[in-house]
Amino acid sequence: MADTIKIGALISGTGTNLRAIIDACKEGELAGEVVFIGSDNPQAAGLELGHRHGIPTFVIDYRAIIRSARDDLSGSALPLDASLNELREKQNLFPASVDPQKVTAFLTSRVIAESRLLKAMAPHDVDLLVLAGYMRTLTPYFIDRVNTDAKHPRIMNIHPALLPAFPGTDGYGDAFRFGCKVAGCTVHFVDYGEDTGPIIGQKAFPIEKNDTLDTVRKKGLKLEWVLYPECIDLFAQGRLKIVEMTYNRPGRRQSLKRTVVKILPGKAGADADLGSR
């Protein structure tokens, strides 16, 4: 692993986590450099971070692509290197009850967008891709072309909940409405499911009796801005190892298999605290 890694970032909105990553790079707290900022949203306020810091930006307008691909239920508009059958087999987003035509329409439009996204990313040759508030689900087509080595995944995401609890778009809201006494955030590698990839780090905070949903979100964001750069720096140091674990559970015939992230030792006193406040 190089001393300084090249980081690509995808955003959909304000890019507050991206700002924390850029600041950590510039302050020497993170051994990396953000080399591009991409977005699915032409109006994403976070694109201004690129203009301010001299970082190249680009936009792949998903909405326009989805509109144009809406009527293609055959998958005929897919890139030549995409297999609709393979995508259906690998993706882990939809239950079997979902209309197959809807799945085809979803996969077709997303893969068309992703092929353009990959083309825009190609000149930058990044070591790590970070999703910093990127509100589009990635398909196996995209994931497999970035994660060329299953033992060394290269797509990282931050989620506003203590996974595996509360996957989806509103983790803090879900935790608050469920009456949880503790909430938090999680950084994980991306796989074929929704927020199901192996966990790298987590930070938690108490939900007090006087908290509101707004204060819970503010608490969570402050921890996100610390946790994400810490996890990226561990990647830059080559200290994240993917391990296949098998667990035997009492009273059950089948063992449980999970892909987990092990954090390798660093210099004495240099380990980040990724499991607490």
Positions annotated as catalytic residues are 159
Cis upstream peptide for 164 (omega within 30°) = yes
Among 187, 186, 197, CA closest to 137:
197
With H, G, I as helix, E, B as strand and everything else as coil, classify residue 16. helix
Alpha helices in the chain (DSSP H): 16-26, 47-53, 62-69, 84-90, 100-121, 140-146, 171-177, 213-236
DSSP 8-state symbol, 132: S
Work out whether strand 240-247 and strand 57-59 pair parallel, antiparallel, or are unpaired. Answer: unpaired
Q: What is the CA radius of gyration of the chain?
A: 19
As a whole number of angstroms, the distance between CA 24 and CA 225 comes to: 9
Residue 269: phi and psi, rounded to 5, are 80, 5
- Which own/partner pairs from 117-122 qualify as long-range (CB within 8 Å, at least 24 positions apart)? 117/10, 117/38, 117/60, 117/142, 118/142, 118/145, 118/146, 120/36, 120/38, 120/58, 120/60, 121/8, 121/36, 121/38
* Angle in degrees, CA 192, 219, 234, rounded to 5: 50
